[in-house]
Amino acid sequence: MSSIIQLLPEHVANQIAAGEVIQRPASAVKELLENAVDAGATKIKLIIKEAGSTLIQVIDNGSGMNAFDARLAFSRHATSKIRNADDLWEIRTMGFRGEALASMAAVARVEMKTRPHSDETGTLIEVEGTEIKRQEPCACQPGTSIAIKNLFYNVPARRNFLKSNTVEIRHIFDEFHRVALAFPAIAFQLFSNDEEIFQLSPGNLKQRIAGIFGATWNEKLLPVQENTDLVSISGFAGKPEFARKTRGEQFFFVNNRYIRNSNLHHAVIAAYEGLIPQGTFPSYFIFFETNPARIDVNIHPTKTEIKFEDERSVYAILRSTIKRSIGAYSLAPQLDFDQNPAFEIPLPPKHVPANAPAPVINPGYDPFKNSGRPDGALKRLSQARWDQLAFIDQEALLLPGASTQENTGTENSIPWLLHGRYILSQVKSGLLIIDIIRAKERILFEKFIAHTAGAGASQQLLFPVVREFSAPDYALIQSIEPELKAMGFSLEPFGTRTMLINGVPPDILEQDAGKVLDQLIEQIHKGGEELKLDTKQAVAAKLAGLLARTGQISSEPSSLIALIEQLFACNTANYSPSGKSTVQILRMDELSARFGKS
């Protein structure tokens, strides 16, 4: 009987390992950056092209390698950090997985130039599909430069499963942020398609946060500090008023390694209980220092999930530390020396009695009096529109103010506003109820979609608004700029990761220009990695959803009727862009059933 167990060839084993280690371009970026940090670099440059699918290059001024080590580094399970199994419990370095370079070489063309500071010449190695094609001395700067070219060129199935460049570059930015935040004393640069995205100078953590996410973060942060025998905690947490609806800037680091931990996240949220609206999330940049023997980093292949030896105690320490920081911030005296004293309302003397307000009564008011047909009433809809509004029983519905010539016996109805959210109106079969917010969403959505055929109407701002964005947000704006322009936004690049907002759609107030754009980006991120619909529809739906919740509708019948007219003029009047009902009819038989037989 022939043997059925076979030893895999080296190149096949490396490709299998690559499937676990190098899942996308961002995975290679993470490994290369961590190796540069472990090499003692003080300057690290990351260069990417086509979201990493064409080129990923990391250049550092670290220790470099001699010719023997440079060749050995591409072997499986080769590492400079581990000598025996016990070392796994004392790891304080970053890139300790020995299969990283071998995995990259299995699915890409790799070129490495490296030179120790003590040597006059360096070593050039080119690897393709695990096979070393060339090794020779070369002239290069001290340190190491590794270029990963044409990632997954020999695994087309894996390459086809990569997301769009916008999504992949966002993952690369995420990995870059994590390493750059963990080591603020190291200078970092990032270039994408020959454009400089980041140039981060050495500094402290707060300066690094501001350098990555924008200068406005200086005023959003609260210092967090606690030292115990079990763990030391440091970093920053966001002020409660800056909580967002998306889980954006949330970072945990243990011994300078980025990690995810749902229990620790719950501890942070618990500290903000009662201080932020439900459904919003605070930002945080929390660093833990502990004995490596008290944590297990090998419970997940990517090393991003760890387990503490005494997680319950760490939870309690973190929660109380953040609560104390928030409390100290809230109790700090805040003096406003710029306040105009003319706006201060003096309290009346204690001996002066307060006059009770006199009620004003209109004896002629009759709430049941019909004021007649209001101005601007709906005109009778054409048969074509009725055919489109198949969700409404044509025989049962008479819109407010519609002609009664074809619906004899039905009186005109004046719409009413209920709790600022619903429009109520009498119809032939009962009660018409319209959700105002969903109706406005539908109206605005179809207006924006109509504008995407060309340049939409735009109101120019008297003073342009300058807005600085994080790198992922800036990349997102660039990717959807044609859609934003079609809907009425006028944007102009203004330096690195900064935009000038020169104009906005007419539905946006001038003072809300920057705020609406920030919220739009947040909503798109909240929707997931990919825009679910095509880009035009997705952006239009998000923007319509934001604007529909701004402003208040007048309770005047003419304003309510105008909104109803606009809704029923839409192509899909019965549903909001998210597929929720805009209109319901409460029929007379349903009302009778609720009250019972008389």
Q: Which CATH number does the domain housing residue 115 bear?
A: 3.30.565.10
In which band, very low, low, confident or very high, does the pLDDT at 80 lie, cut at 50, 70 and 90? low
pLDDT at 550: 75
Contacts of 5 (CB under 8 A, 6+ apart): none
Last residue of a domain, one of 201, 229, 257: 201
Last residue of a domain, one of 183, 201, 219: 201
Least confident range from 85-89, 271-275, 425-429: namely 85-89
334 found inside a domain = no
Q: Are residues 188 and 241 in the same domain?
A: no
In which band, very low, low, confident or very high, does the pLDDT at 298 lie, cut at 50, 70 and 90? low
In which band, very low, low, confident or very high, does the pLDDT at 20 lie, cut at 50, 70 and 90? low
464 found inside a domain = yes
Q: Which among 290, 292, 297, 329 has a CA at the least distance from the CA of 313?
A: 290
Q: Are residues 212 and 192 in the same domain?
A: no
Q: Are residues 216 and 188 in the same domain?
A: no
Confidence check: pLDDT of 253 > 70: yes
165 found inside a domain = yes
Q: Are residues 26 and 171 in the same domain?
A: yes
Percent of the chain predicted with pLDDT > 70:
75
Q: What is the CA radius of gyration of the chain?
A: 32
Going by their DSSP bridges, the two strands 195-200 and 187-192 should be labelled as antiparallel
Q: Are residues 467 and 590 in the same domain?
A: yes
Question: Cβ distance 140 to 54 under 8 Å?
Answer: no
State the DSSP string of 375-410: TTPPPPPPHHHHHH-TTS-TTT---TT---SSSTT-
> What number of other Cβ atoms are within 10 A of residue 284's Cβ?
24
Question: Cβ distance 410 to 428 under 8 Å?
Answer: yes
Average pLDDT, rounded, for the chain: 78
Q: Are residues 160 and 222 in the same domain?
A: no
Provide the residue type at 575 as one letter: Y
Least confident range from 161-165, 226-230, 309-313, 377-381: namely 377-381
pTM: 0.68
Q: What is the mean pLDDT of residues 552-562?
A: 80
Confidence check: pLDDT of 138 > 90: yes
- For tokens 């490596």, the residue is 292
Q: Which residue has the higher pLDDT, 412 or 285?
A: 285
Q: What is the mean pLDDT of residues 497-501?
A: 86
356 found inside a domain = no
Per-residue pLDDT tens over the stretch 21-35: 688 899 999 999 999
Print the SS3 string covering 106-173. HHCEEEEEEECCCCCCEEEEEEECCEEEEEEEECCCCEEEEEEECCCCCCHHHHHCCCCHHHHHHHHH
Contacts of 245 (CB under 8 A, 6+ apart): 279, 280, 281, 522, 523, 526
pLDDT at 310: 87
Q: Which among 542, 534, 541, 496 has a CA at the least distance from the CA of 518?
A: 542
Spatial separation of the C-alpha atoms in residues 486 and 474, rounded to whole Å: 18
Q: Are residues 167 and 282 in the same domain?
A: no
For CA atoms 100, 103, 109, 112, the dihedral sign is positive
Per-residue pLDDT tens over the stretch 169-189: 989 999 999 999 999 999 999
Q: Which residue has the higher pLDDT, 282 or 412?
A: 282
Per-residue pLDDT tens over the stretch 440-480: 888 888 888 876 665 567 788 888 888 888 877 888 888 88
Q: Are residues 220 and 187 in the same domain?
A: no
Q: How many domains does the chain have?
A: 3
Q: For residue 287, what are the domain limits?
A: 207-328
pLDDT at 94: 57
Helix (H) or strand (E) holding 236: strand 232-238
pLDDT at 510: 74
Confidence check: pLDDT of 350 > 80: no
Length of the chain: 598
Spatial separation of the C-alpha atoms in residues 435 and 429, rounded to whole Å: 19
